Structure 1
Amino acid sequence: MIDGVATKTLVRHNDDRGFFMELLREDDAMYGRFGQASISKSFPGVIKAFHYHNGQDDIWYFPFGYAQVVLHDMRPDSPTFRQTDVYYMGEDQPYLLFIPRGVAHGYRVLGNSPAYLVYFTNTAYDPARPDEFRIPFDDPGIGFDWRTKNR
């Protein structure tokens, strides 16, 4: 696992009415400071990658749909510098993924339904000074193959 990345398994409390599940609490180890909460919808096959932040940490959760999430450590002082990790997230795998600043991240929607990403950041977006730096999804320095492999 890339240094500083963390996951939190989410627990559903089910009954005959449906379920209840806490996402993020102020006393969670991965929670630092609240900046913004957002939601994004992406259609099947879409790849949104890569980008990173210098001052912003992200916490991702996919409540509906499925995604292949790819992280790439771009921090030269990290013990996992240039390491790439893959996470499979979605409605049947409910967990939070903490992505520290300096780790490039992106995802590909899997399956035939849209994927919804709910994410929390430790800073609010400032259009005058956006802390978002883009890298092409097929960047040779990362070298990630987004194609689904037949096994």
Structure 2
Amino acid sequence: MAQKLIDGVRVKQLKVIPDERGRLMEMLRRDDEVFLEFGQTYLTTMYPGVTKAWHYHKLQHDNFVCVRGMIKLVLFDERDGSPTRGTVNEFFLGDHNAQLVVIPPNVWHGFKNIGETESLIVNIVTKPYDYQSPDEYRLPAHENHIPYDWARKDG
């Protein structure tokens, strides 16, 4: 059953083109329907079992792609007036699901490495990082008001 996406969240299925030399995967193009603007690109990594959460931005959109490993990306909409206020979205990204997820401003998000190797995540943001006045607001991963438990769900 497909989950109802938080208002403003976009998902792009990525095309992986393999050959005898390796593979190619386009992540984001300026002529993509989901493209807004370019600020900068960065790479973040996580060791197995690590959770990096929670944060949001007031100005920038994030465009997350996990290029190695597997992560669970979780979003929470706490925006006043949002038609999806209170909604939680889960995405499983990486080696077994090549997707780009666009996260709009003011949506809490975090991710957990659910694989057995270091995960590599590329983020293509719409605003460059401002070292003097960072557009980043944080909560602890596990002790907070967000209705989400990072524990594995066996079902």
Match of 1:147 in 2: 151
> Alpha-carbon deviation of 1:18?
2.3
2:14 to 10, 14, 39: 10
TM-score by length of 1: 0.95
Deviation at 1:48, TM superposition (A): 0.3
Task: Name the counterpart of 2:74.
Answer: 70
Percent identical across equivalent pairs? 37
In structure 2, C-alpha distance between the alignment counterparts of 1:69 and 1:57, rounded to whole Å: 15
SS, match of residue 104 in structure 1: strand
Matches within 5 A, 1:99-138: 99-138=103-142
Residue in 2 aligned with 1:83? 87
- By how many angstroms is 1:141 displaced? 2.2
TM-score with structure 2 length normalisation?
A: 0.93
The total of aligned residue pairs comes to 151
Of residues 97, 100, 124, the one that matches 1:96 is 100
Q: What is the CA–CA distance in structure 1 between the aligned matches of 2:34 and 2:69, rounded to whole Å?
A: 24
Q: Which moved more, 1:59-68 or 1:73-82?
A: 73-82
- Moved runs in structure 1, 4+ residues, more than 6 A? none
One-letter amino acid of the counterpart of residue 62, structure 1: C
C-alpha displacement of 1:71: 0.1
Which of 41, 44, 58 is matched with 2:45 structurally?
41
By how many angstroms is 1:149 displaced? Answer: 2.2
List gaps (5 residues or longer) in structure 1: none
**CA-CA distance at 1:139 after TM superposition:** 4.3
